[in-house]
Structure 1
Amino acid sequence: MKKLLTLLLATLFLFGLVACGTANNEGDSADNANGSAEGNEEETGSENEETTSITIGAMSVPHAEILEEARPLLKEKGIEIKIEEYQEFVLPNEDLANGVIDANYFQHTPYLEQQMEEKDFDFANLGGIHIEPMGIYSKNIDSLDKVEEGTTVIMSRSVSDHGRILSLLQQEELVKIDEDVDPVDATIEDIVENPRDLQFDASIDAGLLPQFYEREANAIVAINTNYAIEAGLVPSEDALIVESSDSPYANVIAARSEDKDNEALHTLVDVLRSEEIQTFMEEEYDGAIVPVSE
């Protein structure tokens, strides 16, 4: 009888331990379940903070640099940007047309319009961001008075730039353009007076112009500001002639026409026109870049 009672008490004791263990396990499971729910809520909360990603094609200088400066401001607005950098003018529009990028930032309005006409691109101009005043430089000639008869003028093969270059030369009375021609559309053939018999070489890729500036020391060379900056030139100091700030050649954000109302792209334009970014452009490029506010 005594042995039976001992066995009974031992059984009850073991049962109590099992019950306590089960209760604790249930409590742990409940805690784990609660913890998992809280974790899921946090993850769900993060997922609900929507981020829009856009890919922008840009020339390395200054466009990609400006976009990098704008990156944190865009992130605050829920927009992540990927920047595809280019070194020349042809690919950004082709990649935009083919859907490789969502927009590009490298070209002025006349070039965009020329490309749309020549290549049948269906693009929309979302707005100007800055002007890169065109400059005319020379390695050896330090004054326009020293431009001799027969001096060669070297400029890019991009016809959309010819009018602005010829307008600068006309401004200094080095040539005269046909009055019936819009200066924006002017070409070498539209020169009606050339008192110093300037010779024109318009066969050069824009990115190579700084090399010709170094190589052809007695020529005058029209260089796009982005390439001038890369070559260490300061337009306001080094150019014989430089475009004024009221130039119609604003660099723009271009997108496919189907995306002309894209909210993220319009936010990009707004941020690039913001006071913070305009101040950055003015201070960083020392007048070589002129911000556009509208």
Structure 2
Amino acid sequence: MKAQSLKFLLVISLVFGVLTGCNKAESPTDQPSSAASPVVLKVGAAAVPHAEILDYVKPKLAEQGIDLNIIVLDDEAQLNPALADKQIDANYFQHVPYLDSVTKEKGYALTVAGKVHVEPIGFYSNKITALDQLKDGATIGIPNNPSNEYRALVLLESKGLIKLKEGISNYSATPKDIVDNPKKLKFAEVDAAQLTRSLPDVDGAVINTNFVLEAKIDPNTALFREDANSPYANIIAVRTGEENRPEIKKLIAVLNSEDVKKFLKDKYGVAVVPAF
């Protein structure tokens, strides 16, 4: 009886061990862990050059586990509302004075995560090829949003065409702030995105470089432009408090790399200048 009992116990132990081993082998915790899912980062951008630059760095971010979704809206003015409403994680289309003017007007809690590039604004014309050909009473097209309008007027002032009143410090000015206009220039205030189309109707226009590039106009045809020391660096904007998110910091690091600096120079030349 004792021998039979011992055999029975041994059989039971073996069966229990096999079952336990099978269960252990099939336990999900013992399976090889799958790779972590990439972090999705949605960035709204202007089509040119911003989305093109983001597309260039997309593979580099993928190597760091970030799936960069680039979202281009037909109306760039909607990129800040989209960011404020959490439809996107960041945007890349504007400079600091524009961001400041919009956040002040709309009350958005947005901030700068990093600077990327400057697009020197320039003066273009279909009718003249040199500044001394600009006639008295000529009509000049300028952007109609506050920060870029001021920027355009400052550029014209730098060439001695006008003089603005003293004490303007909020990056906001209109032709009403001109105190000296020796050529009696007239000004057409036009939506910035439409200025390239207005060139046939004016004697010249001060146009943002991204719109020049979109219109396939050679930026080298500008009669004059800002220098590289412009304060209008294009930025990555995020919701206030989110500038230190790991994926945002990785985005800025990649955009501020020597590789991107070379890409900007090779692809855009004088039209897009690194701001880092």
Q: Pick the TM interval, shorter chain.
A: 0.7 to 0.9
Aligned residue for 1:86? 73
Within the candidate set 241, 247, 253, 2:224 is matched to 241
Partner of residue 259, structure 1 = 242
The answer to whether 1:286 aligns with 2:273 is no
* Offset, 1:50: 4.8
Specify which of 203, 206, 212 is matched with residue 222 of structure 1.
206
**2 CA distance for matches of 1:278 and 1:234?**
20
- Equivalent position of 2:259 in the other structure: 276
Aligned partner of 2:195: which letter? L
CA deviations 1:68-118 (Å, max 9, x no partner) are 000011111111111111233311001111111011000000000000000
- Report percent identity of matched pairs: 36
Separation of aligned partners in 2, 1:168 and 1:183: 16
Q: What is the CA distance between 1:187 and its match in structure 2?
A: 2.7
Q: How many residues align?
A: 259
Question: Does residue 206 of structure 1 match 2:206?
Answer: no
Q: What is the aligned counterpart of 1:95 among 79, 82, 87?
A: 82
Q: Look up the match of 2:11.
A: none
Tell me, in whole angstroms, the C-alpha distance in 1 between the residues paired with 2:91 and 2:118: 16
Paired with 1:182 and 1:254, the residues of 2 have a C-alpha distance of 22
Provide structure 2 residue ranges, at least 5 long, that are not aligned to the other structure.
1-17
- Which residue type is aligned with residue 227 of structure 1? F
Aligned to 1:128: 115
Judge which range, 111-120 or 176-185, deviates more: 176-185
Judge conservation of contact 1:130–1:250 (CA < 8 Å) in 2.
Answer: yes
1:172-211 matches, within 5 Å, as: 172-182=159-169, 184-202=171-189, 204-211=190-197
When structure 1 is superposed on structure 2, of 182-191 and 282-291 the one drifting more is 182-191
When normalised by structure 2's length, the TM-score is: 0.87
Q: For residue 164 of structure 1, what is the amino acid of its counterpart?
A: R
2:96 alignment counterpart: 109
* 1:52 aligned partner: 39
Tell me the CA shift for residue 198 of structure 1.
0.5
C-alpha distance after superposition, 1:1-34 (max 9, x if no partner): xxxxxxxxxxxxxxxxxxxxxxxxx9xxx7xx96
Letter in 1 for 2:258: E
Consecutive unaligned residues in structure 1, runs of 5 or more: 1-25
More helix as a share of residues: 1
How far does the alpha carbon of each residue in 1:52-77 deviate from its partner, in whole angstroms, 9 at most, with x for none?
Answer: 11100001111010000000111111
Query: Which amino acid letter does the alignment assign opposite residue 244 of structure 1?
Result: D
Shift in Å at residue 156 of structure 1? Answer: 1.7
User: In the alignment, is the contact (CA less than 8 A) between 1:138 and 1:219 conserved in 2?
Assistant: yes
